[in-house]
Amino acid sequence: MDAQSSFRDVLIQSGHLISTGIDGLYGRGRIFEEIVSGLEAQVTEAGRQDGAEVMRFPPAIARQDFEISGYMKSFPDLAGTIHSFCGDERAHQRLICEMVDGNDWTSQQKATDLVLTPAACYPLYPVVARRGNLAPEGHLVDVYSYCFRHEPSLDPARMQMFRQREYVRLGTAEQVLEFRETWLRRGREIVERLLLPMEIDIANDPFFGRAGRLMSDAQREQRLKFELLVPVNDATKPTACVSFNYHMDHFGEAWNLHDWEGRLAHTACVGFGMERLTLALLRHHGTDISGWPRELRTLFWGNA
């Protein structure tokens, strides 16, 4: 299992992943989904006492909100816009002819008002901003969503569509930094309970192009992003399974989010990569769950 493709093959042969013929797009079997549900319960339990507001969005956001976010400046290659056919019956005839002839029929497709959600927290900022200034204690939101990133890869830990479970804190710099500290601890505790090897390190987002390298350097210098890494596909290049992000007032400025005193709000989020954590468990404890340590089987499937 040295090559990236071979862990993927094992996952497919054992029925945990279902091949769709597209790199990075997989169906999942029952056990895989039970592990995802169990992880979700762990994250919920860790945050229960905080009383976060639960928001669940479908995997798309309004294009206008997406444009405001600045995502296309930083990660244009990863975004997925949703396009539809808007023509009449004649245009439809042409489309079908293109399809039959094996030509590109997608050039007629027009952009809709929707863009695929790039990270689970994006849809909530404009919603919270429309409510007016934050309360003195700020706000805390619990989100869970499919996300899309256009990065076809043989690495099963780099999917094009995957689920992120996040908590998002909005408030003053002090409030959101304290939140991030709390979750750095809780994230480590959760992954310790999963009996997985880990390290936590400073990280950067994959900003696009040469200007992007400057952004990445600045992000690292300012210690804005930490990742909890677990070896999944490659022992020498562990995979980020949880990330802890301080956005400063980037989203506050983009969406006009203000704290109770009218200053730009700061935000931070902790995001759990549900597929990546599941893959880490299958990698370290085996694809046959009957061989997992007893405490883990109890954690996920009770005492049955």
- List helix spans (H) across 101-165: 124-129
The correct pick among 113, 174, 192, 217 for binding a copy of itself (CB under 8 A) is 113
**CB closer to a copy of itself out of 173 and 256:** 256
Stretch that binds a copy of itself, among 96-104, 196-204, 260-268, 288-296 (CB under 8 A): 96-104
If 0-12 CB within 10 Å is exposed, 13-18 middle and 19+ buried, where does residue 28 land?
middle
The correct pick among 3, 48, 50, 58 for binding a copy of itself (CB under 8 A) is 58
**CB closer to a copy of itself out of 12 and 177:** 12
> What's the per-residue H, E or C state across 273-302?
EHHHHHHHHHHHHCCCHHHCCHHHHHHHHC
Considering only residues 16 to 45 of the shown chain, the ones binding a copy of itself according to CB under 8 A are: 18-22, 25-30, 32-33
Distance, in Å, from the CA atom of 214 to the CA atom of 22, rounded to the nearest integer, reads 33
Distance, in Å, from the CA atom of 156 to the CA atom of 26, rounded to the nearest integer, reads 9
Stretch that binds a copy of itself, among 55-63, 182-190, 196-204, 216-224 (CB under 8 A): 55-63
The Cβ-side half-sphere exposure at 262, using a 13 Å CA radius, reads 0
Kindly state the helix (H) or strand (E) to which residue 94 belongs, with its residue range: helix 89-100
Stretch that binds a copy of itself, among 2-10, 160-168, 183-191, 296-304 (CB under 8 A): 160-168
Distance, in Å, from the CA atom of 225 to the CA atom of 246, rounded to the nearest integer, reads 6
Say how many residues touch a copy of itself, by CB under 8 A. 69
Contact 25, 161 (CB under 8 A): yes
- Contact map string, positions 197 to 226, toward a copy of itself, x by CB under 8 A: -----------xxx----------------
Residues that bind a copy of itself (CB under 8 A): 18-22, 25-30, 32-33, 53-62, 64-65, 67, 72-73, 76-87, 89, 92, 95-96, 99, 104-106, 109, 111-114, 116, 123-124, 126-127, 146, 148, 150, 152, 159-162, 208-210
